[in-house]
A = this chain, B = another copy of it.
Amino acid sequence: MKKINKVVIAGGTHGNELTGVYLAKKWMKDKEVLQRRTVDTDVIFVNPKATDIMKRYVDQDLNRSFLLKDLSNESLDNHEQKLARVLSKKIGPKGERNQNFDFVIDLHGTTSNMGVTLILDNQDPFTHALAGHLQKINPMTRIFVDADATEDAPFITSILPRGIVVEVGPIAQGVVDAHIFLETEKLVYQMLDFINEYNLGNYISNKKELDVYKKIKSIDYPRSDDGDITAMIHPALQGKDYSKLKNGEPIFLDFNGNEILYQDEEDVYPLFINEVSYYEKGIAMVLTEKMEIKI
């Protein structure tokens, strides 16, 4: 396999997720800490205009703006549509054979109680090996496989064939939390160390499986005709990301105190429970199945 010599870190892809914003600002002043013998790493503070107004985005979710058909459509000209084209050229370009980087790490925060979560958008063996290594040195590292992701995904990580999303929470938008900052920083250094060892041929693993949570589907909040939510995540489920949800257990509580029970497939594990930016996407949580994948 081609070595991973050029890595790019994206911080602040969502303007109000400040862990990535301040890690990017830190590393832009001091790129030395990111360099490894065989790995040259660059960092991008992705959407400063969104950070200025302390919003996820200015016009539309940047991290849903990287479909090839959108990148090639010059008539799409709002802030994030234009920014996506700039970033694709800088990091990729997406879809081209010769690209500027070999691997992208995209840093995010979530209001859900998801701890350290890695999101894999692809089926790349190297990325699986990396995730397996991180899970080995920190067994609390969770891996989410978004089954919807295809080769042409709308995410910034889709620019390159290889990349990973880091999602650490719970953290409110607009704040820096030192625990989460330090956890994310450490994780990035562990990734770069691994990439270097891998390039040097020092990576040997007898790990054949990866424990992952694979998306089944997402569930929306109960809503009124005008689209407003009519219930909240049940207090017994709030913060219980990655715990098994059983048939008949309460899932929502309406504002009058009535419980709404989960009555669907067995053995599901909800993630992104009560993630703030998913209210507008119609997602109260993402249901997953726990499984092993061969690596």
Q: Which residues of A approach B to under 8 Å, CB–CB?
A: 22-23, 25-26, 30, 111, 170-179, 181-182, 228-229, 232-235, 238, 253, 255-256, 274, 276-277, 279
Contacts and interface: CB of A to CB of B under 8 A. Distances in A.
B25 A172 contact: no
A259 to B, nearest CB: 11
Contacts of A228: 25
B176 A173 contact: no
A178 B111 CA distance: 14
A72 to B, nearest CB: 32
Nearest to A276: B174
A29 to B, nearest CB: 9
B174 A234 contact: no
Contact of A176 (B174, B175, B176, B232): B232
B256 A178 contact: no
Contacts of A178: 232-235, 238, 253
Contact of A173 (B25, B30, B174, B274): B174
Stoichiometry (number of copies): 2
A174 B111 CA distance: 10
Given A22-B255, A173-B172, A255-B22, A238 B276 contact: no
Contacts of A25: 228, 255
Given A22-B255, A26-B256, A255-B25, A276 B175 contact: yes
Nearest to A179: B235
A152 to B, nearest CB: 30
Nearest to A233: B178
Contact of A111 (B175, B235, B256): B175
Contacts of A232: 22, 176-178, 181
Given A26-B255, A255-B25, A176 B229 contact: yes
Of A178, A179, A238, A274, most buried by chain B (CB within 10 Å of CB) is A178
A286 to B, nearest CB: 16
A276 B238 CA distance: 21
A27 to B, nearest CB: 9
Given A172-B172, A177-B233, 12 more contacts: A22-B229, A22-B232, A26-B255, A172-B173, A173-B173, A173-B174, A173-B276, A174-B277, A176-B274, A177-B274, A179-B238, A181-B232
A205 B171 CA distance: 42
Nearest to A169: B172
10 contacts: A23-B255, A25-B228, A25-B255, A170-B172, A172-B173, A173-B173, A173-B276, A176-B233, A177-B274, A178-B238
